[in-house]
Amino acid sequence: MTTSEHSTDLDTRYGSDTRTVTLRVNGRGVTREVATRTTLADFLRDDLDLVSVHLGCEHGVCGCCTVLLDGGSVRSCLMLAVQAGGQEVETVESLSPDQDRLHPIQQAFAEEQGLQCGFCTPAMALRAREILADGKEWTDEEVRQEISGILCRCTGYQNIINAVQNAGRKLRGGPGAARDETKGS
């Protein structure tokens, strides 16, 4: 095969403007046709109506578009939707399917006033879920470092740090967890 034949073959095999992408989003299988240049953030917002994915800067600075990809936080404005094929994406909607029964992390953000305008909150809550997964106790300084990739324009961060620590206590099953149960029922 000559080089040019091989190259043409490569184009037809790989080159395209649209693709069918199949992935899991918040526990459900999704198959959609997408333009290959569509970012994962726009796909989640525009195609799946998951508008909790907030676009602050669209170039990887603010972190407000953070989602979990196979459990790890990523900036969804810095990925193409096609690249998420075969993977699991979680947005903050995955925390609680029931608006009247908040997830302990959401409950903790409410109790600690860990949000004001709420623009960074979905990202902060997902990041909290990721770091709290291992059950360890986090110091102020550690939480501050762990959430440093997400900018909050409002809170000055201290209440977010308090909320993450409060959520950690609830998830580990302290007095906060009991209170969470009562409120939810």
Partner 1 sequence: MKPPKFMYCDPDTVEDAVALKARYGHDSVVLAGGQSLMPLLNMRLANPDVVIDINRVTDLQRITRDGEVLQIGAGVRQSVLETEPLVADLVPLLGQVAPYIGHVENRHRGTVGGSLAHADSAAELPCAAVTLDATMVVQGPAGTRTIAAGDFFQGLMTSALDPDELVIAVRLPVTTRTAGTAFVEVARREGDFALAAAAAVVELAADGRFASLSVGVAGIAATPVRATAVEQALTGQPATAATIAAAAKEIAGQVTSADDMHATSAYRKHLAVTVVKRALGAAVATAQERSDGS
Span from 20-28, 101-109, 131-139, 148-156 in contact with ligand FES (CB under 6 A): 148-156
Choose the contact partner of 95 out of ligand FES, partner 1, none; CB within 5 to 8 A by kind: none
Q: Which is nearer to ligand FES, 101 or 153 (CB)?
A: 153
Q: Examine residue 63 and tell whether it contacts partner 1 (CB under 8 A).
A: yes
Please state the φ and ψ torsions of residue 112, each to the nearest 5 degrees. Answer: -90, 5
Cα angle for residues 101, 106, 112 (degrees, 5° grid): 125
Q: Which residue in 30, 74, 110, 177 binds partner 1 (CB under 8 A)?
A: 74
Q: Name the minimum Å distance from CB 136 to partner 1.
A: 15
Q: Please, which residue, 79 or 163, has the CB nearer to partner 1?
A: 79
How far is residue 139 CA from its own chain's centroid? Answer: 23
For the chain, the first-to-last Cα distance in angstroms comes to 69
- Assess contact for 108 and 166: CB atoms under 8 A: yes
Give 23's contacts (C-beta < 8 A, 6+ positions apart): 29, 30, 84, 85, 86, 87, 88, 89
Instruction: Give the C-alpha separation, 135 to 99, whole Å.
Output: 25
Residue 11: contacted member of partner 1, ligand FES, none (CB under 5 to 8 Å, by partner type):
partner 1
Is residue 108 close enough to count as binding ligand FES by CB under 6 A?
no
Instruction: Convert residues 85-124 into a mask of x (bound to partner 1 by CB under 8 A) and - (unbound).
Output: ----------------------------------------
- 175-184 and 158-172 are packed helices; what angle lies between their axes, rounded to 10 degrees? 90
CB of 158 to ligand FES, least distance (A): 12
CA 126 to CA 137: how far, in whole Å? 17
What is the x/- site pattern for ligand FES, positions 66-105, by CB under 6 A? ---------x-x----------------------------
Please report, as ranges, the residues that interact with ligand FES according to CB under 6 A. Answer: 55-58, 60-65, 75, 77, 115-121, 152-155
